[in-house]
Chain A
Amino acid sequence: MSAIPATRTRAERRTTPGVRIGRRRKGREERRSSLLTLLLWVCGLYFAFPLVWLVVASTKDNADLFTSFGLWFGKRFSLFDNLATVFSTQNGIYLHWALNTVLYAGVSAVGASLLATMAGYAFAKYDFPGGRALFSVTLGAIMIPLTALAIPTYLLFSSAGLTNTPSAIILPSLVSPFGVFLMRVYAADAIPDSLIEAARMDGAGEWRIFWQVGLRLLGPGVVTVFLFALVATWSNYFLPLIMLNSSGLYPLTVGLAQQQAASAAGGGAQALFSTVITGSVVSVVPLILCFLYLQRYWQTGLATGSTKG
């Protein structure tokens, strides 16, 4: 969850012209401000706090969870037992949910970044009738929380007979108004009009210019949108909650919430607390790995952008 605000700050920095992070650090070292450092540390702790709690809690069994101090380890170290339970409860349905999540988030992120890039490029580089109006509509769409659209979307999908299918999750996630906005701003700066002109002179078609010239310069922006869409779909709870009925189609968010609810079901309850917590830890690991990996592209993208631009 804390990943979203973190990316947002990064993306904002990225899109603010003139700020280049990570490159000029050496020259500024003497001008370090202790107040700022302290503030950053506080922010860092704030974001790390829930994660630390989660990781520590994942090493506890049910008894320790409710009797020991939250930020330190309990009497027994049960991480491996918990992991075993996570993958064996309800015949290992966790793995199934994980694969569903990868499928939904992966397809949605690739699709959403592609669509947003194309749309953003078009808005930035072409003048066409209604372009401004359409872009305003896109901007307006950013203001509408996805949750508010969930019920109309459900009714729409229901009449199309698409509820309780993977496309009920993937199709709505393919549209990312914020991604379009981001790509428009990015494309306006990153691709010089003269370059497009030059490509046209050389006889390249518009389609080819986009794929071979535009897309390469847009790399870092595409990665940003990709990560946004990935996190958004990965952690989406409400949409799959209302769209899906079969446990076999659930992503991790809904599945884990269901196991959590089973712990408090009253009659016939199963105490799955440690399982849910450990399951949550496992569910964020792929996202963290993805961030660490794609960060490189971000930085190299920045670097190439700065020399070529």
Chain B
Amino acid sequence: MLAGAMVLTGCGAGASPSSSPSASAVSQADIDKAMQTPTTLTFWSWTPKMQDEVDLFEKKYPAIKVNLQNVGQGAPHYAKIRTALKAGQGAPDVVQMEYQETSSFALTDSLLDLAPYGAGDLKGDYVPWVWNQVDQGGKVYGIPQDSGPMGNLYRTDLFAKSGITNAPATWDEYAKDAQAVKSSTGAYMSNLAPNDPGQLMGLFWQAGLKPFGYDGNKTVTVNVASPQAKNVAAYWQKLIQGGLVSVDPDFTDQWYQGLANGKYAGWLTAAWGPVFLQGTAASTAGKWNAAQLPQQNAGEQKAGNWGGSADAVLKTTKNPIAAYELAKFINNDATSTNQLATKQFLFPTDTTVLKDPSFVDQKSDFYGGQQVNKLFAGISNNVDTTFQWLPYMDYAYSSFNDTVGKAIADKSDISASLDAWQKELKDYGTQQGFTVQ
């Protein structure tokens, strides 16, 4: 926390994004030469067993040695990158980076625009909404690695006990079913985590909201307290105050227990959720099922996203071509992407893998033999393509926890807390020298 706070102040208003790309288009001859020159790259990633994909890369390019390091996940990871950039040495060449962080690193001019290296040609290989997460007006700041289109995981046994046969199709139905689940089984319909902005932002995303916007230069849009956002907030507030949805912080002991012991009858989560749940709630195998999120109107197919990351190249790298080729290989080579999806269970961003039978036809016993991957591959196509982030998401999320998160945890007025959050985000943006709309 401390590291994050200290370096954040260090990279504030003064830095403006440079407009000129650092290199003109790179020729195949340059690439061949770079890939045959003995080089050592450093790659920071928290993905378990990423070494397997790095091995594939090193096999293909024996001259390049990759030093894979895991310096932590989430906030500590970014704090370390910023500290290393500030210290002027020790920064890696390639970094794993969540989509919402990209623009804040692009803002400090820390990321290499990959378009001149050929990244623009890869656009067609990825799901459109995912590509938009890394492409800022033609500048490509990372190669998408994984994503988290959201769905609804629910306990079929608890639903059956409550007389529910199908997953709720609409949010109205969801609220009605929640009542039935509560009165028949005593379980909560699901849990809305007060400490995890990603979940609520995913639900905003599904509702078609545009809470954030950034023009890539000096103008940001903050719109977290729009009437539509307040509608979503009011919906959850009602469920929470009615005792139908719990508000435990997620990824905590209490929450893991809740998933395993039937305290929650469901979890609105991302495509990485299904495999995660198998590991944490192993004793509930066979009792779960997956469905798309409930919709505003029956028959709709709208989805949001929660999580996912790209591999970006830091501008400080001395070997931009090789670094780009590594980021590309990991997320574009057929063997590597298939392995990431089927062995490490990252939810793919690459359209080839999303159609690959070895991925989509997998049946999961944990979900009663359901083809969960196929379901989420379908959902991935329904994610709104124009969702954007602020160039200061670190601040936005910590401020979320103090305002909206607190209101959720206290079961108080979430709509009012959205106003407070809106104000903090606007004030901060202005302080940092942005034009806030």
Contact = CB atoms under 8 A, between A and B. Distances in A.
Nearest to B270: A266
Interface in A23-80: 62-63, 65-67
Contacts of A161: 89
Nearest to B343: A268
B251 A268 contact: no
Contact of B276 (A63, A164, A258, A269): A269
Interface string B255-272: 011011100000000101
Given A241-B76, A270-B279, A261 B46 contact: yes
A266 B83 contact: no
A89 to B, nearest CB: 10
A137 B385 CA distance: 60
Contacts of B47: 265, 267-268
Name, among A66, A246, A265, the residue most crowded by chain B CB atoms within 10 Å (CB to CB): A66
Contacts of A148: 2
Interface in A237-258: 241-242, 245-247, 257-258
B90 A66 contact: no
Interface in A251-304: 257-258, 261-271, 273
Interface in B276-323: 276, 279-283, 307-309
A151 interface: yes
A163 interface: yes
A265 B76 CA distance: 13
Interface stretch (B64-72, B207-215, B393-401): B64-72
Contacts of B67: 246
A268 B53 CA distance: 14
A267 B260 contact: no
A83 interface: no
Contact of A261 (B74, B87, B90, B309): B74
A66 B346 contact: no
B366 interface: no
Contact of B2 (A150, A246, A265): A150
Nearest to B253: A66
Contacts of B146: 267-268
B339 to A, nearest CB: 11
Contact of A266 (B44, B148, B260): B148
B260 to A, nearest CB: 4
Residue from A148, A155, A158, A266 having most chain B Cβ neighbours under 10 A = A266
Contacts of A159: 87
Given A66-B257, A151-B3, A245-B80, A268 B71 contact: no
Please indicate which of the listed interface residues A65, A163, A247, A269 has the most CB atoms of chain B within 10 Å of its own CB.
Answer: A269
Given A247-B70, A258-B70, A266 B2 contact: no
Nearest to B7: A151
A151 B2 contact: yes
Task: Identify which of B71, B260, B272 gathers the most chain A CB atoms within 10 Å of its CB.
Answer: B71
Nearest to A154: B83
Contacts of A271: 276, 279-280, 282
Contact of A62 (B44, B76, B83, B279): B279
Contacts of A66: 253, 256-257, 259-261, 280-281
A212 interface: no
Contacts of A67: 257, 260-261, 283
Interface of B: 2-3, 6, 44, 46-49, 67, 69-74, 76, 80, 83, 87-90, 92, 146, 148, 251, 253, 256-257, 259-261, 270, 272-273, 275-276, 279-283, 307-309, 340, 344-347
10 contacts: A66-B259, A66-B260, A67-B283, A147-B2, A158-B88, A245-B69, A258-B70, A267-B307, A267-B345, A273-B256
